[in-house]
Amino acid sequence: MTAIPTIETRRLILSAPEPGDYPKFKATFTSYRARFMGGPLNDYEAWMLYAAEIGHWQIRGFGMWMIHDRETGATCGMAGGWQPAKWPEREIAWVIWPEVAGRGIALEATHAARAHFYEDKGWSGAVSYLDPRNYDSIRLAERLGCRRDPEAPSVDGTDVVYRHPAPETLRNSQIADAIELELQSHAGPIFGRREEAPA
């Protein structure tokens, strides 16, 4: 079996999805939150998808990690690589549980996952297939430096393809600096904490 590596970032630990991590996955995928990811699913479909997330690693040698808060250990969502049969290219994908959205967790996790694929796995690029109505994800793709690629084949014509900057483009780029700055601001509130703001 392919061993699933663990990735640590400032605030997060990305590790293999475990059986105990399933409840929050199920809650998200059986909810309206999953509407841009083929959902909402019923209980059976959600479980089958979770098992497939794990099996994906064995078939492709890469896959989606479970994102944990470093301090509490609580799960926050999933991020990583995804390429089932119909996917034209390797995708960098993410899903964040609704209750922890807005904290830059997806950015931090996808940035780390992409760095792993580029630097440790030799990927020369990646795409993200997004629902054009999924503004949160489109915004994240743009923060990651992705550009819409209208020439690239999509999964089924209902999604749009965002192409990630290649490793050499990303290295020492303004995008990389911007990501770093945004993650710093989430980790240590250099822009001023709310309670310190002038009255």
Partner 1 sequence: MTPIPTLTTPRLTLRAPEARDVPPFTAFYASDRARFVGGPLDAEGAWRMLAMEIGHWQIRGYGRWMVEERESGATAGMVGLFCPEGWPEPEIGWDLFEGFEGRGYATEAGRAAREYAYDVLGWDTAVSLVKPANTASAAVCRRLGATLDGTFAHQRHGEMQVWRHPAPEEVSDGGMEAYA
Q: Quick check: 68 binds partner 1 (CB under 8 A)?
A: no
Nearest CA to 117 out of 79, 174, 149, 84 is that of: 79
Shortest spacing between CB 83 and partner 1, in angstroms? 10
Does 5 bind partner 1 (CB under 8 A)? Our answer is: no
Which residues inside 129-158 make contact with partner 1, applying CB under 8 A? none
Which of the ranges 15-23, 102-110, 127-135, 143-151 carries the binding residues for partner 1, by CB under 8 A?
15-23
Out of 5, 6, 84, 121, the only residue in the binding site for partner 1 (CB under 8 A) is 84
The answer to whether 169 contacts partner 1 (rule: CB under 8 A) is no
Listed in sequence order, the residues at least 6 apart from 54 whose beta carbon sits closer than 8 Å to its beta carbon are 16, 17, 63
How far does CA 190 lie from the centroid of its chain?
A: 25
As measured in angstroms, the least distance from the Cβ of 182 to partner 1 is 33
- CB closer to partner 1, 84 vs 153: 84
Distances in whole angstroms, Cα of residue 104 to Cα of each of 112, 165, 180? 12, 19, 11
Closest by alpha carbon to 14, among 127, 96, 83, 128?
Answer: 96
Q: At what angle do helices 135-143 and 174-187 cross, to 10 degrees?
A: 120
List the one residue from 13, 15, 16, 167 that touches partner 1 (CB under 8 A): 16
- The amino acid at 128: S
- Spatial CB neighbours of 84, under 8 Å, sequence gap ≥ 6: 52, 56
Whole-number minimum distance, CB 35 to partner 1, in Å?
A: 19
Work out which of 51, 178, 181, 187 binds partner 1, going by CB under 8 A. 51
User: Residue 29 Cβ, how far from partner 1 at the closest point, in Å?
Assistant: 12
Measured from the CB atom, is 55 or 132 closer to partner 1? 55
Phi, psi (degrees; rounded to nearest 5) at 75: -80, 145
Applying CB under 8 A, does 2 fall inside the site for partner 1? yes
Task: Report the interface residues with partner 1, using CB under 8 A.
Answer: 1-4, 16, 19, 22, 42-56, 58-60, 84-86
